Structure 1
Amino acid sequence: MNSLVSVIVPIYNVEKYLERCISSILEQSYNNIEVILVDDGSNDDCPTICDKFKRKDARVKVVHKPNGGLSSARNAGLEQMKGEYITFIDSDDWVEVNFVERMVEAISKSKVDVVQCGYCKKNDDNVVYVSTLTNEIVYGKDKILKSFFVTQNYQTMACMKLYKSEIFRKIKFHEGKNNEDTIYFADYIDKVNSIQVINDVLYNYYVNTNSIMHSELTKRKVEDAYFSGEYMLKKCEEKYPEFAIYMRRNICDFSIGLYMQADKSQKQLKKEIYTKFKNNYILLVKSSCLDIKKRLKFWLFYKNQFLTSKFWGIKKSL
């Protein structure tokens, strides 16, 4: 168990958190790693920090490139990787000291294509959320999609996973869009025939309120969200039709989230979001894919968006 693992870190203007991230990787109990730091045109001190770590540790490679976005940075890292396995770590996150060792141990033993671990969401003050995943090894696309859509155990995020690198010799991340993890999931699911989920909490996800995900809602953000959701929906309709209804459920779910992010002045944007929700909701209203909680939430939003926003906003704050 000494395979080379490529660790790709896309970096953009995160000087406050970058040393924590890189240090957590270089301090891994598993030593046979190459760490590919991709500076995506940062205009803070990130380029200097990257170069400093390169001088200190021969396992570190640095790529400096013009700003092109998260997917562009990940793709630039993929062009440099030489490992048998690959993992992605976001530059404001950090990993436990045995992250790579435990993931390599799992993938080597089970012989699967991808392993996903548990994770912890944290902000500057405390722990926000700890994942509650179920240990499982899954073979076959139908069962993988069931784990994703039905039990919702396996998830879309590119991070928190260890992949056979050969997967990424066939696909790349879709550039120029936010919500790129859903798009990449739709692409790579065709290349994956087995996955493993381990409930070990090995990845620390930092809830950065300055990130794109937590920034002001814009028309571009909404358009990208629906592009990624409808990209996955189209893939299901073409290749995995039994799961298309679940993707419509997911689109309804994130529609409500987007609606609740919009402010009072964004009336037209709210109208567009509600229309997207309604078009999907009427196709799944009688579906068994909705549990009682989601059925109530969707019905309430369908009837009265204001009350839903108030009710779920209060619930989230408790």
Structure 2
Amino acid sequence: MNLSPKVSIIIPCYNIATHIKKCVISLLCQSMPDFELLLIDDGSTDKTLELLNVFEKQDSRIRVFSHTNQGVSATRNRGIVKAQADWLMFIDGDDYVKPDFLEQHLQYAEIGIWPISGMVNVSEGGIENKSEDFTKLIEKFPSGILNNENLFEIIVFESISSPCARLYYKDDLIKHNIKFSETLSYQEDLMFNLEYLKYIDQIQILNYFGYYYVKNEESSSSRYHVNFNHLPLLLIKLQEIAGKNKSLEKIKPFLFDTLLKKVSNSFHKESGNNFITKKKEMKELFNSMYFFYVRNFIYESSINSFYKTALYFRSFTGLYIYYRLYNFLKK
């Protein structure tokens, strides 16, 4: 294998024996062959590791690693350390890509430039739909360039919440100690990307949809997250990127949506927390800088009137009643 591949592709693998073959084949068929493929098993209990070892024997560009189950963030972080190339890509093992996927991104591989492309959502039955948000982003910026004046547009269109379908410069990750948080269970990818964005001069939006995201039955936004305590840090990171003279007004809808996810997570039916613990969580949230930053957006939102009132006046009792009814009606 080439000792200095152009790209290191990092794939965390956990119990994806039924999907990983399609993913790997789509990469081995790339029009740009100068890459290494890091397949990292995260303590799978099915035949995933067995399949990975077979792949490794079939192609010298493939390297397989394995460890006890530590989660996707720890697995990706290990991939960053093991990568030999200057440029990195992250792909999920149940997804797949077009044959020119690497080539499309590598043509923009330059320090300070962040190439980002669109995703095709693949739902049950194989139905494919291009990301609507990314399509709107392309339409708004036909030049394909976002610079320091409009970098936040990438957040407005929710195109920074995944580490896939983009290219990273490894030296920046190592130099600035940029890692995936191994304690967060929600928006850890967003936090990683925001940290990387601090060292980016220009985002290159590719009018290209070559990454096929296969939707799972249970999305990250709907399940219960044990660690959802990053909102104060999220606000700080965004303010660091914006600078003292820039407002975050444009992304208040995004910030508010994240606030709602935090609230709904606290009252999630799968949460094992008791009444007192939930009340404490809400008190901390209501007294946070994050809450007061987005509070004036509450009545501009489309949530129902009862929810708006309870949230605006920081009424734990109102929210408790609302979610008791909500979870009851969902049964």
Q: Which residue of 2 aligns with 1:208?
A: 216
Matched residue of 1:62: which SS? strand
Q: Which residue of 1 aligns with 2:314?
A: none
Match 1:52 to one of 51, 54, 60: 54
* Deviation string, structure 1 residues 203-242 (Cα, Å, up to 9, x no partner): 111111256x267425x1xx42x41x33221123455343
Shift of 1:282: 5.1
- Assess if the C-alpha contact under 8 Å between 1:12 and 1:46 holds in 2: yes
- The one-letter code of the counterpart of 2:146 is V
Question: CA separation in 2, counterparts of 1:298 and 1:283?
Answer: 18
Cα 1:303/1:265, change in 2 over 3 Å = farther
- The one-letter code of the counterpart of 2:255 is I
Match 2:100 to one of 77, 95, 98: 98
Shift of 1:281: 5.7
* Deviation string, structure 1 residues 14-67 (Cα, Å, up to 9, x no partner): 111111111111111111110011111111111111111000001001111122
Alignment of 1:36-47 (within 5 A): 36-47=38-49
RMSD in angstroms over aligned alpha carbons? 3.4
Match 1:175 to one of 174, 178, 182: 182
TM-score (norm 2): 0.75
Does residue 118 (structure 1) correspond to residue 118 (structure 2)? The answer is yes
Match 1:62 to one of 56, 61, 64: 64
- Assess if the C-alpha contact under 8 Å between 2:5 and 2:36 holds in 1: no
- Assess if the C-alpha contact under 8 Å between 1:116 and 1:162 holds in 2: yes
Match 1:189 to one of 179, 191, 197: 197
Does residue 296 (structure 1) correspond to residue 301 (structure 2)? The answer is yes
Unaligned runs of 5+ in 1: 314-318
Unaligned runs of 5+ in 2: 311-318
- The one-letter code of the counterpart of 1:207 is K
Q: Which residue of 1 aligns with 2:160?
A: 155
- Assess if the C-alpha contact under 8 Å between 1:118 and 1:201 holds in 2: yes
- The one-letter code of the counterpart of 1:41 is G
Q: Which residue of 2 aligns with 1:10?
A: 12
Between 74-83 and 171-180, report the one with greater CA deviation.
Answer: 171-180
Q: Which residue of 1 aligns with 2:207?
A: 199
Q: Which residue of 1 aligns with 2:256?
A: 252
Alignment of 1:232-271 (within 5 A): 232-238=234-240, 240-241=243-244, 242-245=246-249, 249-257=253-261, 268=275
Shift of 1:173: 2.0
Between 123-132 and 257-266, report the one with greater CA deviation.
Answer: 257-266
Q: In terms of Rg, which structure is larger? A: 2
Question: CA separation in 1, counterparts of 2:251 and 2:232?
Answer: 8
- Assess if the C-alpha contact under 8 Å between 1:117 and 1:200 holds in 2: yes
Shift of 1:172: 2.2
Cα 1:102/1:3, change in 2 over 3 Å = farther
Shift of 1:246: 5.2
Identity of aligned residues (%): 24
Q: Which residue of 1 aligns with 2:78?
A: 76
- The one-letter code of the counterpart of 1:198 is L
- The one-letter code of the counterpart of 2:157 is Q
Between 235-244 and 264-273, report the one with greater CA deviation.
Answer: 264-273
Shift of 1:181: 0.7
Shift of 1:183: 1.8
Question: CA separation in 2, counterparts of 1:274 and 1:200?
Answer: 45
Shift of 1:249: 3.8
Q: Which residue of 2 aligns with 1:316?
A: none
Question: CA separation in 2, counterparts of 1:235 and 1:303?
Answer: 29
Shift of 1:160: 1.0
